Structure 1
Amino acid sequence: MSVPRSVAAHRGAVMELLRSQTAGKGAEELPLLQALGRALAVDQHAPLSLPPFANSQMDGFAVASADIPEAGAQLRVAPPVPAGAEPQPLERGFAVPIMTGAMMPDGADAVVPVEKAVPATFPAPGDRNAVVRLPPVTAGTFVRDAGSDIAEGALALAAGTHLGPAQLGLLAALGLTSVKVRKPLQVLLVTTGDEVVEPGAALGAGKIYDSNGTLLEASMRQAGLAVVRTGISDDDPAALREALLKHVPRPGATREPVDLFVTTGGVSKGAYEVVRQAMAGEDVDFLPVAMQPGGPQGIGRFQGIPFLGFPGNPVSCLVSFEMFLRPALSAVLGTPQPRQAQRARLAAPLTSPEGKHQVRRGSVAEGIVRMEGGPGSHLVHALARSNALVQIPGDVTELPEGAEVEVWML
């Protein structure tokens, strides 16, 4: 009997499996908003500085700090500088009304907020005789220097960066309208089993509706994968092989090649494990992982293309994706973003099998996690009520109420 592989070791094996496949995927140029959630393909350097010019951080008066002694000074008021305008150079002995974000005049090196002026208001437009008394100010006060955010030519975003709203906002601020992103992996998803029928079909005796297809395809699409489905494969190994071979690059192939095969079901040690039988002669291993649920796993290459075989129970399927494939995609492709891990306290005591990393489903609110359903891998309703995966390490067999655990927010 083989020794179960650790969760960390299997996750590492999935990463290595994907790494070579993703290296040659290439890039595509997309408009910024279409790149949301994708990973940057190349290092992006700043084509200009941000800010591109020195500007005011406050509504106030732009001054030369040397014009104001420690006792303060009364200065004449120059024409105002609104945001978006190019100001005239500052004359000595003058203060310039300036708005937040407006360009600093040449000769000005500080801004005095309007509320610190006497009077604490801007003069009426066109008042050529206005004066204002201002307190002393240090050079650089309330001034955003050109390039203080990022200098022209500096690295703005590294290749592999996940492009969320903040990253796309930076690219827009740099004047870019499109960006090079990594092409998504295309995965063929196959659910298996004679007992499984498509939702909406008649449900005969001994049959169940396929939830794995919807569950995994939704998870994969959310993670940025391009998903191809074959429909449900029965328990005929030859038919399953033929369905997979249609997506392998070879003479006579009738479908577009894919980058990854993922199957559900048929990976245990039963008499009718169709995936195991279909993979005979391929570079694929079927092995136990020290995890519950989701212990039986398949990994390797079918006709040279990466292959992952997940268990057939719905919760086992999702846990396998979340524990192995999704983190590998994050590490190798830069997208999706890793699940947020945090600590929460147990609302009730729990037990866990020795030597197995248990992944329970739970609901987290105000720092407390409550289990949803038991450890069974068929509890889809409990899964749907959950917002977190609760991680119980293999060396932990029981925890009291109030104990801290790691949770991954879904």
Structure 2
Amino acid sequence: MLEKSTIRGDARSVGPTEKPVDWVNDLRRSRQNGPSLSAVHMGQGLSTRSIHAGTVQDGPTGAVGTPIYQASTFLLGEEQYRSFEEGYARDRFIYTRYGNPSQWAVQDKIAALENAQSALVFSSGMAAISSSLMSLLDPGGHVVTSDEIYGGTYALFSNEFPNMGLSVTHVNPRDLAAIEAAIKPETQVLFFEVLTNPLLKVIDIAGLVNIARRHGLRVVVDATFATPILVNPLDLGVDIVVHSATKYLNGHSDLVAGVAVGNRKLIDQVWGRMLAYGGCLDPHCCFLLERGLKTLALRMRAHSEGGMIIAQYLEAHPQVSQVYYPFLPSHPDHDLAKRQMRLGGGMVTFEVKGGDAAALHLLERLNLAVQATSLGGVESLISLPYNTSHSGFTRRQREQMGISAGMVRLSVGVEDPEDLIADFEQAFA
């Protein structure tokens, strides 16, 4: 399968030059996909790629799964020294912050699922977002983004960007005309979430890309809620896709991680920022993430099936005033969702009659749906946006976003939907 020398750093994706060169134009090697330890991506189906892409079968032991390469540093030789000199250090094992076989395996799997040339894993979703954006922004740069983004991203934009001389304009993510009108001469990036949190608005990815191309801008999207099983934004022209891998990609509520995917040139730029900021993912977490990814396609089908059933149940419940789920015909973006997404996903947002007090009362009486922040686990997780994901916003800001009193965000797990409905029935009662 793999030669011993490959594990020591002689990766397939970039080879050395034939002889020393004096000018960049003389280099005969090309920027290729990866870096990768696998010769091929096996199969075209999402489940097949989830299982086989990137996975390393260990030669010396015959282990079927990718080993945990719990090493901070690797042997140096002529080839490693040359990679520094000629600018392809990302394609050699030198130091785990630069790259590790455990990282490469999971990155290759994610890249295969996203139809991407390259991927990079991080210690958190916010590390992926900040490194990706900073790799695309120059001093004085400007970002156009949604007016209802995740609280951590909002904090980055409002607290950190001004200190770096960067500016942000927040607009309605559904209003393409408003997005285009917000573009300034210094605008460099459009940053949006594929599905907004918590209202599950569906972003018109193709429309966003068309605006960006007319103005020479980059498009970065956060696809955490969607995953590559629901939609592949790169296929629609997006430049970089980021995920909080803590959520669906891992799926078991036992690690914190992030990922950025895109073409090799852009992800190499992001890699440079990751080196500077230090947000690499450790090998053991890479093992957990790869293990979770193997069941991603299966889990997302189960999440989506359960999500639809629970959304329909809640929509018919007399104590619920509003339900937000992309595949419900009542959702404002239903037609776009059906065109753009393969499945509806596992996120359901609904409003309980009686406001925040009634919503909290409901959550405290549920037994199966766990009251906790985060989402995307095999267990159902439920929370109130006003005191979790959007607690950093004022009441007025939340109201402007449409986050009303009594709003509940439910991450439907893979439990039997009938059991979840029975749990809601007793809690409502």
**What is the TM-score when the length of structure 2 is the normalising length?**
0.27
Whichever structure has more helix as a proportion of its residues is: 2
**What is the TM-score when the length of structure 1 is the normalising length?**
0.28
Please identify the structure whose Cα radius of gyration is greater. Answer: 1
Whichever structure has more strand as a proportion of its residues is: 1
